[in-house]
């Protein structure tokens, strides 16, 4: 492959990159979590048409794990698979991001942008009519948390899916990045020929019944292990029930039955999807717990265990019941990354409930919302005007400020909080992964391709974007842009993308 210089890169993309330097493209690729050959990176980045295609495929392949290389998560509690016992490896982005942040403030190694210069770049974009009646913005130096630019930064607006950033910080700080969610079967007291077995939901939104579990907890594995345990006891006929009592409150999100989210249950397989999709809107089951239990009964029958009745009913597992088998989710760090990359609402609501469980609140919409607020309060984050009504941002009653979003991102970038790193590594990469894969294609916003990492947010009349970018002076910036009252979502999204790209192309010191 011929050498690709920064100049040839810019000409091929048809854009001018101001002071974008080779090192910045390299840093951007690292921040994007893309595995690049050192020689190619030194030549100025992965932007040759053929290599760009390869990197897109690489990024897409990583999406199942949230865009970072975390190995194969454990799925069996007994840990018989050596690969399953592998703990999460450092994502490719971590060394570049955290090493830059570790530099002492004020060393002069990377100049801090000036507010006046940032305003000159951002105001023409953020003051335009495409962003509706209300818009707020904040840009902070991720290394210090100092606000460098603000436009109504403390005003709380509807955040849409950028709410997931708050959910991520809350669950990682409350439950820990290595926590896994357990789904299990237990043996209850019984009479007559059939033993009583209960399938107990633990709230794992990634539990799957598909043949290829892709590192997720497998309902098939749980059925196989349960059948083996029953046969060891001489049992081949059971009465099967399922337990969803870990969660409380309404199952259906306030938006109602919707392809964007299944009823929120402590037990579900494949997010209650009725098709083969793994992300995005899809037809959903109206009762994912019952469907998962029916599937489990069939899998048990495939392993020689008869179930009576064939259609399981709901029942709470007895206290101190004997465990037969269990499977575990990927770590919360991996779930957070997947939630952010794909804007997965089912995972978001499950993580809100995990926050509630870790902090002693009811595992419900209200309990999760209260737990998130209290957890962020413990972290001394700016919560003026903030309101949480769910964990996903689908609820229009949510309110967050640009100041809070940038503070969350800066806290995640703080070397003193390594447990929050998945908040950064899970952010979609402009032009490459998740909800930003098909954005940043226009000439005007292309300078942010591969350099901007950001969580998108979209509801009717609401467009938001919050994330990080390395500017041309080498400073890692956290930004948040929120707009309410937009009438043309495509134009509004493009405006926000251009604002983020302007930060990437800015030497504003």
Active site residues: 161, 164, 343
Sheet strands (E) in 337-461: 400-401, 452-459
Helix (H) or strand (E) holding 187: strand 182-188
Residue 447: count other Cβ atoms within 10 Å of its Cβ. 28
Cβ 438 vs Cβ 180: under 8 Å: no
Cβ 423 vs Cβ 376: under 8 Å: no
Phi-psi group of 402: left, alpha or beta (phi > 0 → left; psi -120 to 50 → alpha; rest → beta): alpha
Cβ 102 vs Cβ 252: under 8 Å: no
Strand, helix or coil for residue 80: coil
Pairwise CA distance, residues 9 & 15, whole Å: 9
Pairwise CA distance, residues 7 & 205, whole Å: 46
* Radius of gyration of the chain from its Cα atoms, rounded to whole angstroms: 24
Task: Provide the terminal-to-terminal Cα distance of the chain, rounded to the nearest Å.
Answer: 37
Task: For residue 309, count CB atoms less than 10 angstroms from its CB and return exposed for 0-12, middle for 13-18, buried for 19 or more.
Answer: exposed
Residue that is written with structure tokens 């990634």 in the block: 206
**DSSP per-residue codes, 303-353:** TT-EESSSS-EE-PPPTTPEEEEEEEPPPHHHHHHHHHHHT-HHHHHHHHH
φ, ψ dihedrals at 76, nearest 5°: -105, 135
The CA–CA distances, whole Å, from 41 to 34, 37, 38, 459 equal 11, 6, 5, 38
Residue 12: count other Cβ atoms within 10 Å of its Cβ. 13
Helix (H) or strand (E) holding 229: helix 219-232
Task: For residue 257, count CB atoms less than 10 angstroms from its CB and return exposed for 0-12, middle for 13-18, buried for 19 or more.
Answer: exposed
Residue that is written with structure tokens 């409930």 in the block: 353
DSSP 152: S
Task: For residue 173, count CB atoms less than 10 angstroms from its CB and return exposed for 0-12, middle for 13-18, buried for 19 or more.
Answer: buried
Strand, helix or coil for residue 194: coil
């Amino acid at each position: 492959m011929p050498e690709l210089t920064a100049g040839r890169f810019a000409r091929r993309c048809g854009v001018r990159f101001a002071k974008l330097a080779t090192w910045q493209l390299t840093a951007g690729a690292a921040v994007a979590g893309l595995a690049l050959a050192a020689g190619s990176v030194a030549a100025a980045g992965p932007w040759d048409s053929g290599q760009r295609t390869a990197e897109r495929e690489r990024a897409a392949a990583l999406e199942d794990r949230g865009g970072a290389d975390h190995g194969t998560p454990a799925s069996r509690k007994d840990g018989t698979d050596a690969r399953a016992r592998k703990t999460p490896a450092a994502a490719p982005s971590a060394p570049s991001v955290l090493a830059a942040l570790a530099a002492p403030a004020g060393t002069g190694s990377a100049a801090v942008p000036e507010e006046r210069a940032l305003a000159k770049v951002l105001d023409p974009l953020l003051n335009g009519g495409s962003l509706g009646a209300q818009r707020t913005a904040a840009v902070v130096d991720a290394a210090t948390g100092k606000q460098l630019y603000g436009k109504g930064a403390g005003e709380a607006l509807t955040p849409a899916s950028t709410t997931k950033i708050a959910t991520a910080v809350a669950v990682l700080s409350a439950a820990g990045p290595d926590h896994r969610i357990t789904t299990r079967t237990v043996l209850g007291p019984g009479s007559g020929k059939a033993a009583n077995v209960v399938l107990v939901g633990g709230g794992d939104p990634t539990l799957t019944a598909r043949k290829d579990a892709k590192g997720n907890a497998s309902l098939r594995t749980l059925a196989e292990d349960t059948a083996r345990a029953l046969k060891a006891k001489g049992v081949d006929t059971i009465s099967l029930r399922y337990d969803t009592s870990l969660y409380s409150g309404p199952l259906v999100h306030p938006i109602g039955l919707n392809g964007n989210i299944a009823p929120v249950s402590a037990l579900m397989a494949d997010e209650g999807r009725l098709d083969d999709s793994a992300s995005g809107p899809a037809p959903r089951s109206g009762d994912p717990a019952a469907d998962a239990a029916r599937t489990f009964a069939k899998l048990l029958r495939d392993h020689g265990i008869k179930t009576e009745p064939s259609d399981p009913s709901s029942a709470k597992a007895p206290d101190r019941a004997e465990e037969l088998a269990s499977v575990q989710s990927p770590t919360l760090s991996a779930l957070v990354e997947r939630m952010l990359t794909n804007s997965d609402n089912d995972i978001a609501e499950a993580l809100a409930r995990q926050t509630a469980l870790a902090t002693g609140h009811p595992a419900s919409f209200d309990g999760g919302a209260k737990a998130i607020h209290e957890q962020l309060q413990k972290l001394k984050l700016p919560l003026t005007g903030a309101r949480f009504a769910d964990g996903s941002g689908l609820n229009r009653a949510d309110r967050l400020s640009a100041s809070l979003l940038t503070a969350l991102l800066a806290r995640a970038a703080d070397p003193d909080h390594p447990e929050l790193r998945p908040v950064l590594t899970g952010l979609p990469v402009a032009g490459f992964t998740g909800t930003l894969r098909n954005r940043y294609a226009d000439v005007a916003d292309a300078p942010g391709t591969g350099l901007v990492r950001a969580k998108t947010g979209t509801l009717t009349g609401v467009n938001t974007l919050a994330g990080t970018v390395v500017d041309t002076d080498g400073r890692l910036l956290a930004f948040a842009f929120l707009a309410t009252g937009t009438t043309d979502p495509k134009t509004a999204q493009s405006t926000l993308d251009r604002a983020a790209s302007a930060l990437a192309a800015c030497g504003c010191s």
